[in-house]
Structure 1
């Protein structure tokens, strides 16, 4: 025990916090900013918390079993029974208990500062100015944590000023390149952004995400891909189809010709070097996905995440409707993107409209709040699939082998549209050098874009 007033501690509160951290997945991320090792008054409890932090920093999860080797490595004496006893303590109000430990730590520090002032103020052995300066430094250190998170308008105006100067000097804002110049010219996918890509079923949402992932990782980005519908092997097969120009069905089910084998070998060599990460755990739990994202940011420094798709995600929220659950998932994805300084591309279904297949944000399936949480909303429309023409201003564009990419919301880039190429055989979206125009004699397609 430390030599400080024992009334400024709460053993039961410490046990509840540590027990919850060792039992509940991701609990550490709720309270890490609140708790420092010194927040725990009992030495053994402080050592356990230090071990939890060390494991979290490596991207590992601390529990009653995994923490034992870490404690042994740190030369901490303990018995399995002691750890088991701690895990019998639990609270559903973890943040509240952590705030109490944080406050008690500050009170102990104030107590020690008071003792210092009493000791040095009652004699003349130390210079008065040094005492005051030392006291001010100690007081600042006690409450300095809050100051690190508070910035003034002047601090942020410096960033705005730098951005304006960069634009004047044609210095692009750092972002992840998507392979589509219309998006990349506006900075690409920016850190902290939640990007929603929505379309009706079988319109190419996953194919668009694959195209972005391939272009971004070729440019050096590291991206994590979470699919609730496809395995990592299936997704890499699609990327191999894009790289080798071999249809997915041929790669999956047929013998390759000698020429195709050469192309495939080249694609394998290229794709194997890319920073694409998969977590193939069969889960749609938002909690598990968020924990995996944190781990990959720590272990592999990923810059972006793709999630396929929003409507399959599950949120541990009792009594809520499907719409509320999807809205909660969107908010949590936005929060973690901001917290970890990464971008997240989340795919979403659109409700079908047989009378007007042209997509709109009002048709986001399950929750209009998805669009509210998003920094950018991308809608995909392939009129060829409906035997339709494009709406204005692209009505003269040939819909065969093309797609409309509609940036229907852009928090910092505005709204705009462009036409991309789409190879249905290899499921590949790509940049078009020029927009294909319908011949004047074209009568086969319905003149009504709706």
Structure 2
């Protein structure tokens, strides 16, 4: 019989709820320590919810609260009977050994509320799963979002004094001085770019745009190699165009500095094998996680990104590229689909609190010229949603046979940066190994 009751009665702790309210009445000054943690709906008892709301009304008006003033407040709103009456309110202080433990009581109330929310979400997921009119992928994405929100639900606000802030700030400055690390975000590996951006910042959407064959994927792989292989920072990569084997080959080519054509044809020299083995050793344990599903649905990408963040603890995600992401509303005009994708990626970056770097093509009229913001495919929404927009530009020269061949000089054009400067970053491009590198200053 007890097990049946346990399964049917939602988790709650009536004593902790009454102790929390009683501690608030005994020591009204302690309310501020739990006001950012608890809400009325966290209480299981309806009468406790009514009492807590009344106490929060008094708190928001800057008034004190004791048993008499609380009864008066509830009488004014006609909720005294609904709260259990004056006798119940008076009894609340009887269950409190000391008001000093109010945070402990409040955390018990919050923990039980979290369990009840988990049960509610589980029931919603179950009901959705039985609804055969709904798409299973959409149900799964909604379920993961709800679970993720629950896991990230505990928000507390802390007021920091200068006595707390100054020692921490000085300590951070000393650490930066010793490590010579001038970047607050995830470093791209390109020194001037990182100086301009301070690295890729949390919750930001970064767009890298270029015409085809300008090196969008190569630049992204260069950045990921620095992040995951050199810095050992967990990194996720969604490749909608290349397979994981092709990506692995490109990474080994860049790291070993062996021409990609040699790896594809197998025309290697003996010393190339040593370079390849050394590169493989450096890359083997790198925390780089690749998803290479073609025509990936936006809903699936969001779900997989959440899993990467939770399971692999990724600190940055790259997407190659926006134009290959499929939306649920495939019949909508392209600009509407691009708008949906860009807004979704920005909200995902904020939700996961990591930078998301997405590659994007620019329109055909940018061929041979430096790209600009209005040449982004679906530029209106992408330009608006992105925190940083950068373009790759390389001049092309004509060979004798008439074919265009990129020259070695290249640059990144930072055309938009919400929280920093814009400008050009000069680079070198090594076409044989599809690798971008920092370009030395003239005086170097």
* Fold equivalence (TM over 0.5): yes
Q: Confirm whether residue 126 of structure 1 aligns to residue 136 of structure 2.
A: no
Unaligned runs of at least 5 residues, structure 2: 12-40, 53-82, 115-151, 400-405
- 1:284: which partner in 2? 296
User: Once the two structures are superposed, what CA deviation does each residue of 1:171-220 show, in whole Å capped at 9, x if it has no partner?
Assistant: 73431111111122241111111110000011000000000000111112
**Is residue 311–residue 366 contact of structure 1 (8 Å, CA) maintained in 2?**
no
**In 2: Cα distance, 1:209 partner to 1:312 partner:** 16
Unaligned runs of at least 5 residues, structure 1: 3-40, 48-101, 388-398, 438-450
- 1:266: which partner in 2? 278
- 2:205: which partner in 1? 194
SS in structure 2 at match of 1:185: helix
- 1:405: which partner in 2? 412
- 2:249: which partner in 1? 237
**Is residue 388–residue 418 contact of structure 2 (8 Å, CA) maintained in 1?**
yes
SS in structure 1 at match of 2:184: coil
**Is residue 241–residue 292 contact of structure 2 (8 Å, CA) maintained in 1?**
no
- 1:185: which partner in 2? 195
**Is residue 206–residue 386 contact of structure 2 (8 Å, CA) maintained in 1?**
yes
- 1:63: which partner in 2? none
SS in structure 2 at match of 1:246: coil
Within-5 A mapping of 1:237-386: 237-317=249-329, 320-353=332-365, 357-384=369-396
Within-5 A mapping of 1:73-222: 107=46, 110=49, 114-115=83-84, 118-119=87-88, 121=90, 126=94, 149=155, 172-186=182-196, 187-217=198-228, 218-222=230-234
**Is residue 177–residue 184 contact of structure 1 (8 Å, CA) maintained in 2?**
yes
**In 1: Cα distance, 2:300 partner to 2:166 partner:** 36
1:368 is displaced (CA, Å) by: 2.2
Give TM-score, length-normalised by structure 2: 0.63
> Structure 1 or 2: larger helix share?
2
Q: CA RMSD in A?
A: 4.4
Change (3 A) 1:119 1:279: same
- 2:121: which partner in 1? none
**Is residue 232–residue 278 contact of structure 1 (8 Å, CA) maintained in 2?**
yes
Change (3 A) 1:127 1:201: closer
**In 1: Cα distance, 2:153 partner to 2:366 partner:** 55
Change (3 A) 1:322 1:159: farther
1:110 is displaced (CA, Å) by: 2.2
**Is residue 402–residue 422 contact of structure 1 (8 Å, CA) maintained in 2?**
yes
1:310 is displaced (CA, Å) by: 0.6
User: Once the two structures are superposed, what CA deviation does each residue of 1:330-379 show, in whole Å capped at 9, x if it has no partner?
Assistant: 11111111121211110000001167521111100133211211111110
1:228 is displaced (CA, Å) by: 0.7
